[in-house]
Amino acid sequence: MNNPVIIEADGGSRGNPGSAGSGAILIDSVTGAVLGEIALYIGVATNNVAEYRAVLAAIELANEIAPEVRLHVRMDSKLVVEQMSGRWKIKHDSMSELSVLVAKAIGNRQVDFEWIPREQNTRADALANEAMDAETSVVRKFVSSNDTQSISVISTGESASTLEYNSTLPSSVRAPKNVKSPLTTLILVRHGRTALTESHRLSGRGGEDPQLSELGILDASNVAAELLKVGVTGFLSSVEAASVIVSSPIRRTRETAEIIGKQLGLPVEVEQDIAEISFGEWDGHTNAQVQQKWPEQFEAWKGDIRIAPPGGGESLEEFDKRVQEGRKRILSKYAGQTVIVVSHVMPIRGFIKTAFASDWPSYWRISVAPCSMSVLRFWGEEAAEVTCTNYCGHQ
């Protein structure tokens, strides 16, 4: 279509913050035909967050059904209109994050914002209340033939990623529902690439401690942009936004965490026990070099979790005990929150091993790419759920 599209958007919160919903309607500015409706349930949030979420969802839908045309956004939120028009400064971190996502969704297309009185925004308000009443989300897209009066619904319902998702308890019907510990969500992020990563060399605790390479800095920036979407849009839209970042003490993880923290406006804490396993004298070597120089020790190490590399390395058994203590401290200190944990291949595998209630083979059966995301949900030590592992869609 070529006609400009009008977006009417609104958000509400019953408690501010409280149960919140966003609503938006997309309208052909010439014919008056309704192109789409959005009723988005977003859990506990403020009015301002709900209103920004309404705009974001509407522009994303417009990008799908009318990607080329000018958009005219009409809202009764003076705050969102003035901030997105560039006339008011954005001071609150959550508003800043959402405004970045809206700006990215807009891209290069022409969009203008207009404030309207509340009584002129009743359709979007009704959709926001529909979401809050039903505590679920729905997107309705409408199409027509040359006869603009002939309109039919072509999609409706929740996204596949949230259809069977329980936001407070384990989702499976067989999982325990009588848990007493609060839900703590861990978003595990491996550090970005280093020179040793790129040359396939072992790099553990107590080794060279390299900094991020140029590609590693790009890795960290890309995952930071993806983490901005948590709790807002995308496959982790139902996950509560993170409140803190916990990093391994090793340089490459701290640098990755600092890039993420700057983008998200979050503090970075350090947990010593989620550092990478120590490879001792093998650090800085490729596996082929280790196998050639220490053939008997290498073969013994591969087959026994109690054997450590020479020169102060850690056995897998010793390492696992350490990393699980770090995991437990994170769950205890940040109980009930969403935590971004920036660590390494082996600690991330250790966390996943526990979530799956699996044994030692988890340490060599799970892929963990640089700056990949793995999302685990823990109810203390009572229950756990794996949302995803090694997600790399942002790379």
The answer to whether the beta carbons of residues 203 and 276 sit under 8 Å apart is yes
- Over residues 216-242, the mean pLDDT reads 87
Which amino acid is present at 353?
K
> Does position 131 have pLDDT exceeding 70, yes or no?
yes
164-211 pLDDT, tens digit per residue, is 788 889 988 889 889 999 999 999 999 999 999 999 999 999 999 999
Q: Which of 148, 146, 185, 134 is nearest to 19 (CA)?
A: 134
Higher pLDDT, 105 or 137: 105
For residue 386, what are the contacts with CB-CB under 8 A and spacing of at least 6? 352, 355, 356, 374, 375, 376, 377
The 10 Å CB-count burial string (b at 16+, else e) for 98-124 is bbebbeebbeeeebebebeeeeebeeb
The architecture (CATH level 2) of 5-155 comes to 2-Layer Sandwich (3.30)
Q: Which residues fall within 8 angstroms of residue 16, CB to CB, at 6 or more apart?
A: 46, 47
pLDDT tens for each residue of 90-126 = 877 667 888 889 999 999 999 999 999 999 999 999 9
Residue 154 has pLDDT above 60, yes or no: no
| pLDDT above 80 (res 152) | no
Rounded to whole angstroms, the Cα distance separating 359 from 302 reads 15
In this prediction, residue 156 carries a pLDDT of 55
> What string of DSSP letters covers 23-77?
EEEEEETTT--EEEEEEEEEEEE-HHHHHHHHHHHHHHHHHHH-TTS-EEEEES-
Average pLDDT over the chain reads 91
Q: What is the pLDDT of residue 158?
A: 58
Percent of the chain with pLDDT over 90: 72
Which residue would you say has higher pLDDT here, 229 or 193?
193
Tell me the pLDDT tens digit for each residue of 294-345: 999 999 999 999 999 999 999 999 999 999 999 999 999 999 999 999 999 9
Structure tokens at 135: 């505590």
Among all chains, which residue has been given the structure tokens 């259809």? Answer: 163
Position 151 scores a pLDDT of 46
- Give me the pLDDT at residue 150, please: 43
pLDDT in tens, 236-264: 878 888 999 999 999 999 999 999 999 88
Domain boundaries, the chain: 5-155, 184-391
Q: Where are the beta strands (DSSP E) in 76-183?
A: 111-115, 138-144, 151-155
The model's confidence at residue 149, banded by pLDDT at 50, 70 and 90, is: very low
Q: Which residues are catalytic?
A: 191, 276
| pLDDT value of residue 148 | 43
pLDDT band at 147 (very low <50, low <70, confident <90, very high): very low
pLDDT, position 166:
85
Location of structure tokens 């969009």: 111
Residue 143 buriedness (CB in 10 A; 0-12 / 13-18 / 19+): middle
Q: Across the beta sheet with 268-270, what order do the strands follow? A: 268-270, 244-247, 338-343, 184-190, 373-379, 383-391
**pLDDT value at 82 more than 60:** yes
Average pLDDT over residues 221-249: 88
Share of the chain above pLDDT 70, in %: 94
Q: How far apart are CA 392 and CA 328, in angstroms?
A: 26
How much is the average pLDDT of 265-273? 96
Residue 55 binned pLDDT confidence (cut-offs 50, 70, 90): very high
CATH architecture of 184-391: 3-Layer(aba) Sandwich (3.40)
The string of pLDDT tens digits covering residues 59-79 is 999 998 899 899 999 999 999
Other Cβ atoms less than 10 A from the Cβ of 206: the count is 17
Confidence of residue 48 (pLDDT cuts 50, 70, 90): very high
Q: How would you class 344 by CB atoms within 10 Å of its CB: exposed for 0-12, middle for 13-18, buried for 19 or more?
A: buried
Identity of the amino acid at 329: R
Q: Tokens 């929150």, residue? A: 337
- Tokens linked to 16: 């501010």
- Whether residue 4 has a cis bond before it, omega within 30° of 0: no
What are the tens digits of pLDDT across the range 21-44? Answer: 999 999 999 988 889 999 988 888
CA 390 to chain centre: 12
